[in-house]
């Protein structure tokens, strides 16, 4: 065979192949680099096994990540909150909950993509605290411990369920438990129990299932509720739903229901089995006011 007919004799054929390989390799490097950045400092950071860019303080009950110069709650406060949250729910975190306190609102948005002051994520069970939350707490606009207890409730439930269950867990129940367990009714603008039922008597009410889940969007009834500070009312309503269950059926039966919801998707069936009452009937009687 003529040597000129071999691969070396046709460099014009090899150039496109080498160019394609370089382009593919560059694309792979860029994709891996972007994923690594996101896992450490971007939107995937809440799910990463690593925490980058923060100082670390570990106490008996929790791990707090922070930046030098940023005010953070003392370890005794955090440990007391963790113990209180576990006691109320009758559950354990398993591993120490992680609280990450951001230096700036920009950092908070870069990592979480959220506007709310606080956000809890499943998988690693991390709670992020925004710079705005610290400012508001420092200026007396919010009670930081109440909000931390609220978010730690989310983290605790996430730690006791699978990722899929976390994605499909009823949002109304997640928030209702957090509001009731943290003592948030009537605090920092949230409706008190009395104010909630007064609003319900005036015709304001949100069907709990309309709140949705992480995977399911909130329904139009949530967006169109004609109240100026509707989130304060909605969260309070959900807290009052949980409060009613505790008042009527007691802590033990509510705990049985709560544990069932961590694994079971059919909430009405779990409700009927534990409380001996139809879920829809419970909602109808709830709207008539306190028992």
Residue with the two structure tokens 């544990």:
259
Q: What is the pLDDT of residue 37?
A: 45
**What are the backbone angles phi and psi of residue 290, rounded to the nearest 5°?**
-60, 150
Q: Is the pLDDT of residue 122 over 70?
A: yes
Residue-range domain boundaries for the chain: 50-160, 168-291
Q: What is the pLDDT of residue 19?
A: 65
Q: What is the pLDDT of residue 31?
A: 57
Asked whether the beta carbons of 176 and 242 are under 8 A apart, the reply is: yes
Going by C-alpha positions, the residue among 254, 218, 241 that lies closest to residue 287 is 241
pLDDT grade, residue 9 (50/70/90)? low
CATH architecture entry for 50-160: 2-Layer Sandwich (3.30)
Tokens for 108, please give them.
């908070």
Q: What is the pLDDT of residue 127?
A: 98
Instruction: Report the predicted TM-score, pTM, of the whole model to 2 decimal places.
Output: 0.87
The mean per-residue pLDDT over the stretch 82-91 comes to 98
The mean per-residue pLDDT over the stretch 105-116 comes to 93
**239-278 exposure pattern, b = at least 16 Cβ within 10 A, e = fewer:** bbbbbbbeeebeeeebbbbbbbbeeeeebeebbeebbeee
pLDDT grade, residue 190 (50/70/90)? very high
Q: What is the pLDDT of residues 195-244, one digit of tens each?
A: 999 999 999 999 999 999 999 989 988 989 999 889 999 999 999 999 99
The mean per-residue pLDDT over the stretch 84-98 comes to 97
């Amino acid at each position: 065979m003529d040597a000129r007919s071999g691969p070396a004799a046709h460099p014009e054929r090899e150039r496109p192949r080498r160019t394609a390989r370089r382009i593919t390799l560059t694309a792979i490097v860029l994709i891996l680099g972007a994923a690594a950045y996101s896992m450490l400092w971007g939107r995937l950071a809440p799910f990463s096994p690593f925490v980058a860019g923060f100082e670390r303080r570990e106490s008996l009950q929790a791990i707090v990540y922070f930046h030098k110069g940023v005010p953070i709650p003392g370890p005794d406060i955090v440990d007391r909150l963790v113990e209180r949250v576990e006691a109320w729910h009758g559950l354990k975190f398993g591993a120490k909950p992680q609280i990450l306190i951001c230096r700036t609102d920009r950092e908070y948005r870069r990592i979480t993509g959220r506007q709310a002051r606080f956000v809890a994520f499943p998988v690693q069970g991390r709670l992020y605290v925004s710079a705005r939350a610290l400012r508001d707490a420092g200026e007396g606009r919010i009670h930081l411990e109440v909000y931390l207890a609220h978010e730690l409730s989310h983290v605790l439930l996430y730690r006791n369920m699978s990722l899929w269950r976390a994605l499909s867990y009823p949002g109304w129940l997640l928030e209702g438990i957090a509001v009731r367990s943290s003592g948030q009714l009537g605090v920092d603008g949230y409706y008190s129990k009395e104010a909630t039922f007064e609003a319900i008597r005036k015709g304001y009410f949100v069907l709990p299932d309309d709140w949705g889940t992480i995977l399911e969007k909130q329904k139009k009834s949530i967006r169109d509720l004609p109240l100026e500070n509707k989130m304060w009312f909605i969260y309070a309503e959900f807290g009052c739903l949980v409060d009613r269950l505790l008042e009527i059926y007691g802590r033990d039966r509510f705990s049985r229901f709560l544990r069932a919801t961590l694994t079971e998707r059919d909430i009405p069936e779990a409700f009927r089995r534990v409380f001996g009452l139809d879920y829809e009937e419970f909602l109808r009687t709830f709207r008539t006011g306190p028992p």
